[in-house]
Each structure stands twice: as C-alpha cells, then as structure tokens.
Amino acid sequence: MSRTVIAPPSVTVPGVPLSPAVAYGDLVFVSGQLPIDPATGQLVEGVEAQTQASLDNLKTVLEAAGASLASVLKTTVFLKNMDDFAAMNGVYAKAFPSEPPARSAIEVARLPKDALVEIEAVAVRVK
C-alpha cells in the first residue's frame, strides 16, 4: 500500500504544513476542516453556517479522495463553545441522516482563525 496526499486547491492553505487528507489503502484521514468559504477565503458567520461550511469542505476533500460523506467512519467535531452543540448537531444531522458515523465532540479554547467549529474525519474510499 502507498500513502497518497489529497490536496484539492479549494481547501489547501499555502504555507501551512499539513495535507487536507492522506489516503492509505482504502482509508482516508481528513484534517480538520474550517468553515472557510472557498470563493472568498473568509470564515462564514454563525455556528450553523460554520458547521455547514466545514461539512461542505469535508465533502470536497472526501470526493477528491474517492470517498463521500456516506463513507465516513468517524468524525471529531471541535467546538469553541459547547453551548453551540445543539445548533451544530441540527446541521450535522442533515449531512448524516441515517447510520451516522462514530463521533466525538470536544470543546476547545480556541480554533484557527477564531472559528466556532472545525470537523475532521476518517472515511473509507468508495469502490
């Protein structure tokens, strides 16, 4: 098996020492996706919009790797404030309407760019 870096241009941040995703065999490990609008390069506003943008960016990376939201095995959701859990969860549930992946949700002191949400995932490539 070989290690393959997945780096779609819309979610790759020049000068930051990370790969948006790394595939190894059929597994895809996706770095935390921030709620950045690829068209503007700016954070979107509000926890619900940030959750959706993070999921959209996650989907972009997964598709570039030959995976999909439906093939996600595990996610980790980082929240700046656990009081935003219900709002995040409402948006998240729409992305994973049935048989959702395993998940951890963690409150953190600060996220890059002062985001409210960041989402990382492990998925399997779709055959």
> How confident is the model over 6-50, as pLDDT tens digits?
999 988 888 889 999 999 999 999 999 999 999 999 999 999 999
Kindly list the domain boundaries of the chain, sorted by start residue.
3-124
Q: Maximum distance among all alpha carbons in the chain?
A: 42
Which DSSP string corresponds to the chain? --EEEE--GGG--TT-S--SEEEETTEEEEEEEP-B-TTT-SBPSSHHHHHHHHHHHHHHHHHHTT--GGGEEEEEEEES-GGGHHHHHHHHHHHS-SSPPEEEEEE-S--GGG-SEEEEEEEE---
CA-nearest of 109, 123, 117, 8 to 54 is 117
Question: Looking at domain 3-124, which CATH architecture does it have?
Answer: 2-Layer Sandwich (3.30)
pLDDT of residue 127: 73
pLDDT of residue 70: 97
Mean pLDDT (whole number) for 64-88:
98
Residue 115 confidence (pLDDT): 98
pLDDT value of position 58: 98
